Amino acid sequence: MLSVIDALSQIVATVCPLPVIDVPVASALGRVLAAEVTADLDSPPFDKALMDGFAVRSEDIRGERIDLRIIEEVTAGRVPQRSLSSGQATRIMTGAMIPTGADAVVRIEDVELDPAQPDRVIIKVPSIRPEQNVLRRGTSMRAGQRVMSAGRKLRAQELAALTEMGQTQLQVRPQPRIAVLATGDELVPVEQVPGPGQIRNSNETMLAAQIAQAGCSAMPLGVARDERVHLRERIAVGLEADMLLLSGGVSAGKLDLVPSELEQAGVEQVFHKINMKPGKPLWFGVLRRADRPCYVFGLPGNPVSSMVCFELFVRAAIRRLTGEQPELPQPQMARLTHAHLHKDDRETYFPAAIWTENGSLCARLMNWHGSSDLQSTVEANAMVVFPSLPAEYAAGAMVPVIEW
Ligand code: AMP
Ligand code: MG
C-alpha cells in the first residue's frame, strides 16, 4: 500500500498552480505572492531619528551639563536646512531627518531647557554613543534588494512591507474554490434530531472550517444519498470548483459508491488507500479539462480520518495550487511526556497536545478512541507521527509532531 510520503509526492506531481492574477495590495490578504518583489527605495529612505530629542555631534558630549546652542527645529516630514557644527544641536522629532553633521540623538528626557534661554539646551547625560537613537538610510533594506520571495502567504506585516516599497498591485494566485459534498444515507442536517441509525453531518462543518483556515472559499453542497443518480448529480455540481472534497463512501462497504461514480464522471484516479491510521481509505484523482482541472479527494467518512487527511493531503494540494512554500507539512520534534506502546504497522497520526516548557517542545497523547472519536481532537493542537513499525516509546522519547 502507498506510504504517506509517496502519496504526498503524487499530489505535488499532479496538482498545477493556478494562473497568476493581479490584485490591489488592499485585497491581497491571505493570498500567496507569485513573483519576487524588490525594493524601489532604501529603507529607511533617509537617516532618521528614533527618539524625540536633540540631534548632536557625539564628540561634543564629554562631561557634565554640556551646553549647546539650538540652531533649528525639525519635525517629521521636513528637511533640515542647516548642518550641525561643534557646540550646536537641532531639536528633532521621532521619524524626522537627521541634519548633516549630527551622529546621535539625545532623548528629550536627558536634557534641560530653560525658558529664559530659548536657544540653549543643557545635556544631562555625560556622554552619548555615536549612532545612538539614529537609524541610518538603508539599514533594513537597500534599493534593488529582494523584499520578498514568491510563495509567501501575505499577512498584515508582508502587506505593510510591500506598501513601504510602493507596490500598489501584487501578482498573486487566486483563492481556490473548494466544494464539499458529504455522502451517506445516515446523515441529517445539524438542526435535525437524528432518528434511529442517523447522525449529524459534522464533516461538512469541519471541512468548510478547515478550508477557510487554509485561506480558501468553501462551497458546501449538502448531503448526497448513497444512491447513484443522486450522487452523480451532486458530483457534477462539485466538479465546477477548483477542488472537490467528498466525505464518506470510499471504503469497501456495499454502498461505497464514490470511487466508481467519480471515474464514471471522468475523474482519473491517482491513488486509492494509504498505509496510514487514520485515513487509510483516502481516494485522490483529477478531472482533466481544457480550461482548468478539478482535483478530487474522497475523504474517509470517519471525522478524525477526514480531519487528518485534510491537514496532510488537502493542505498540500492547496499549497501547491496557490504556490505557497513549503508545499509539504513541516514536522517539528517534541519530547513525549509519557511512555507509549505503538502497536500498529501503519504510519499513525495520533491526536496530541503540544506546548513549550523550558524552551523545549513537549507532547502528550490524547486518550484517543480511534477515527470516529472527534471529542479527543478538541483538546488536541497537534498530531504525533509514529512510523509504520510497531515500537515502544519511553517517556522522554523524541517524536515528530505536526501542528493542527
Ligand atoms: P463511510 O466512509 O461512509 O463508510 O463512513 C465511515 C463512518 O463515518 C461512518 O460511521 C459514518 O456514519 C461516518 N460519517 C460519514 N460521513 C459523515 C459526516 N458527514 N459527518 C460525520 N460522520 C460521518
Ligand atoms: Mg457512508
Closest approach atom of ligand 1 to CA 300 = 2
What is the per-residue pLDDT for 252? 87
For ligand 1, the distance from its centroid to the CA atom of residue 203, given in whole angstroms, is: 8
Contact 53, 104 (CB under 8 A): no
What is the per-residue pLDDT for 15? 98
**What is the 8-class DSSP label of residue 244?**
E
* 3 state SS of 316: helix
Rounded to whole angstroms, the Cα distance separating 390 from 341 reads 8
pLDDT in tens, 202-230: 999 999 999 999 999 999 999 999 999 99
CA 3, distance to chain mean position in Å, is: 26
For ligand 1, the distance from its centroid to the CA atom of residue 195, given in whole angstroms, is: 15
Residue having the nearest C-alpha atom to atom 5 of ligand 1: 301
Give the ligand whose atoms come closest to the C-alpha of residue 250. 1
Single-letter amino acid code for the residue at 65: R
Cell numbers 483538546: residue: 379
β pairing state of 391-393 and 340-342? antiparallel
**What is the 8-class DSSP label of residue 311?**
I
For ligand 2, the distance from its centroid to the CA atom of residue 63, given in whole angstroms, is: 84
Cell numbers 443522486: residue: 230
For ligand 1, the distance from its centroid to the CA atom of residue 201, given in whole angstroms, is: 8
For ligand 1, the distance from its centroid to the CA atom of residue 255, given in whole angstroms, is: 12
Substitution candidate for ligand 1 out of 302, 375, 377 with most atoms within 8 A of CB: 302
* 3 state SS of 56: strand
User: Environment class of residue 22 by beta-carbon count within 10 Å: exposed (0-12), middle (13-18) or buried (19+)?
Assistant: exposed
Contact 368, 350 (CB under 8 A): yes
pLDDT tens digit at each of 404 positions of the chain: 999 999 999 999 999 999 999 999 999 999 999 999 999 999 999 999 999 999 999 999 999 999 999 999 999 999 999 999 999 999 999 999 999 999 999 999 999 999 999 999 999 999 999 999 999 999 999 999 999 999 999 999 999 999 999 999 999 999 999 999 999 999 999 999 999 999 999 999 999 999 999 999 999 999 999 999 999 999 999 999 999 999 999 998 998 999 999 999 999 999 999 999 999 999 999 999 999 999 999 999 999 999 999 999 999 999 999 999 999 999 999 999 999 999 999 999 999 999 999 999 999 999 999 999 999 999 999 999 999 999 999 999 999 999 99
Give me 300's grid cell. Answer: 474517509
For ligand 1, the distance from its centroid to the CA atom of residue 279, given in whole angstroms, is: 12
Rounded to whole angstroms, the Cα distance separating 183 from 193 reads 18
Substitution candidate for ligand 1 out of 185, 187, 207 with most atoms within 8 A of CB: 187
CA 43, distance to chain mean position in Å, is: 26
Tell whether pTM > 0.95. no
Helices (H), 64-116: none
For ligand 2, the distance from its centroid to the CA atom of residue 156, given in whole angstroms, is: 42
**CA within 13 Å, CB half, 110:** 19
What residue ranges line ligand 1, CB within 6 angstroms?
A: 182, 184, 186-187, 199, 201-204, 247-251, 253, 300-303, 372
β pairing state of 88-92 and 187-188? unpaired
Substitution candidate for ligand 1 out of 199, 256, 280 with most atoms within 8 A of CB: 199
Residue having the nearest C-alpha atom to atom 17 of ligand 1: 301
